[in-house]
Chains A and B, each alone.
Chain A
Amino acid sequence: MEMAKTIAEINEKIRKGTAVVLTAEEVIGFAAERGVKKAAQEVDVVTTGTFGPMCSSGAYFNVGHTKPRIKLGGGKTCLNDIPVYVGFAAVDFFLGATAMTEDDPRNKIFPGKFSYGGAHVIEELVAGKDVSLTATAYGTDCYPRKSLETYISLKDMNEAVLFNMRNAYQNYNVAVNLSDKVIYTYMGVLQPKMVNANYCNAGQLSPLLNDPLYKTIGIGTRIFLGGGMGYVVGNGTQHNPGVKRTEKGVPKMPAGTLSLTGDLKMMSPRWLRGTSFTGYGVTLTVGIGIPIPVLNEEILEYTTVRDEDIWAQVVDYSEAYPQCIPGSLGEVNYSQLKSGKITVQGKEIPTAGLSSYTRAREIAGILKEWIETGKFFLTEPVELLPSADSGIAVKPLKERPIKKK
């Protein structure tokens, strides 16, 4: 008879300092040595990690009321000249990771550099730096002030909250370029005629690849986020659990995603980095670590997933991706990708990553240390995420022409 554990029991062990915590790398060898059954009894938590560019990230702030009061909504507000979204109450606003200054040349001189944007403001704020807050407003009887220019730092604000609507993609494409000219993409610079291939996933350390069918990660799961503690809000946007999977349930293409949130004031610039993709734009590189409670043998077995068990699709970013032409040039696994070479349609291609494996490993190690030392307790998810059997599938936009009156 299988001995199942509960999250409450694991938390009790964490409290006593007796919980056995392994990283998603360490558990592979441990289970191979002891066998799944014994490993499931002995291991309480497996920690995962990822550190990669995640564009659908941002932060909201409440900067406190000025005297006299100003209503930022309806006007224009910037942090270090980066426009923020002000369509809320008087002094709340949202800063998106990919936002850029109004006079950024973008791709006018191709390829653009995108050396500074919303993500860089987030990095500077968490580093404790002052940024400029500038605003113009239309003025009302209750909010008469029409302009504002001041320095502000994170500690001056009432609230500063990281809120990412799509993070931690479960698997991702391997990008190549079949055309005869260099292309500049969110998957990096791709040389013509498949001279290089870029991938972007932590593989065997990646959170959702260690819980492929979302049996433990759900709404309210406490996580490592940006160097602090955060929570899973729910599934991320474009959550697409119904894709092709291996026998062990590991998706063979981009599938699940997570929406995450956490107190920005607790985070660190080491784990939230402004990132510039030449010719593409600005993005935020986010550090995420998710603990997986080993509730039973099945869950332990999922965490023993290895790079060679995780397959990804090779996609042409010169034509197939931009034109939404489905299909793949071939399948490769993360062991091959990390070896530095893959073979696609008979051609050997050097590979490079965009997601830092060494930083993912560091995050899994930090989270392990937090749990072992009783600084971090697991949470029971309020609700699990829609899984492979949910029938949920990502839809493309069906355009309907707007009739002219």
Chain B
Amino acid sequence: MQKKRVVLSFPPQMIDQAVTYKLIKDFDLMINILRARITPKEQGRLVVEITGKKPALDAGINYLREVGVEIQPLAQDVKWHEDRCVHCTACVSVCPPKALELDRTRMEVSFNKDKCIACELCLPVCPYQAMEILF
């Protein structure tokens, strides 16, 4: 089994199509929707975690590309500006998946992109504008 966290961008003409259903039924993939924003006639953005066997996962992603859904890894859209972070630790108690974590010996914050679900809870909490999420 493999797991991928991706951001799916749907062009305007595609937002009325049941793409997620297809991924589940035709490719036997487990879809966990982390975030979604769909604006009629504009575009849709979906943050999903896709889990399945490697061949199925590849086939599902191929299908998405064929129908015109743009796919990019979630990590690309989330930035922790380490140079701006002062390690005050304000973010660590609000981060649900513990992507922002504190080494309590060094009292230093680190950011694990792979755990981030782009929930944006850290944005208003960081006084140093160290987090940036483009969604």
A binding-site residues for B, Cβ under 8 Å: 51-53, 111, 115, 184, 188-189, 191, 196-198, 273, 275-279, 283, 285, 338-340, 350-359, 361
Contacts and interface: CB of A to CB of B under 8 A. Distances in A.
Contact of A353 (B90, B106, B124, B125): B90
B117 interface: no
12 contacts: A197-B93, A276-B128, A276-B129, A277-B127, A279-B124, A283-B127, A285-B128, A338-B104, A340-B102, A340-B104, A356-B107, A358-B107
Given A115-B129, A350-B93, A356 B87 contact: yes
A358 B108 contact: yes
Interface size class of B (residues with CB under 8 A): 10 to 19
Most A CB within 10 A of own CB, among B104, B108, B127:
B127
Interface of B: 86-94, 102, 104, 106-108, 124-125, 127-129
Contact of B125 (A51, A188, A285, A356): A188
A352 B87 contact: no
Contacts, number: 71
B94 A191 contact: yes
Given A276-B129, A339-B104, A340-B102, A354 B124 contact: no
B107 A273 contact: no
A189 B108 CA distance: 20
Interface of B, secondary structure class, is: loop
B29 to A, nearest CB: 34
A338 B107 contact: yes
Given A51-B86, A188-B90, A357 B128 contact: no
A196 B91 CA distance: 11
Contacts of A338: 104, 107
Contacts of B128: 273, 275-276, 285
Contact of B90 (A115, A184, A273, A352): A352
Nearest to A360: B107
A351 B93 contact: yes
Nearest to B108: A358
A285 B102 contact: no
Contacts of A52: 88
A282 B30 CA distance: 45
Contacts of A115: 129
A89 to B, nearest CB: 35
Given A338-B107, A339-B104, A353 B94 contact: no
B94 A273 contact: no
A173 B102 CA distance: 22
Contacts of A196: 93-94
B99 to A, nearest CB: 15
Nearest to B103: A358
Nearest to B89: A353
A189 B124 contact: yes
Contacts of B87: 356-359
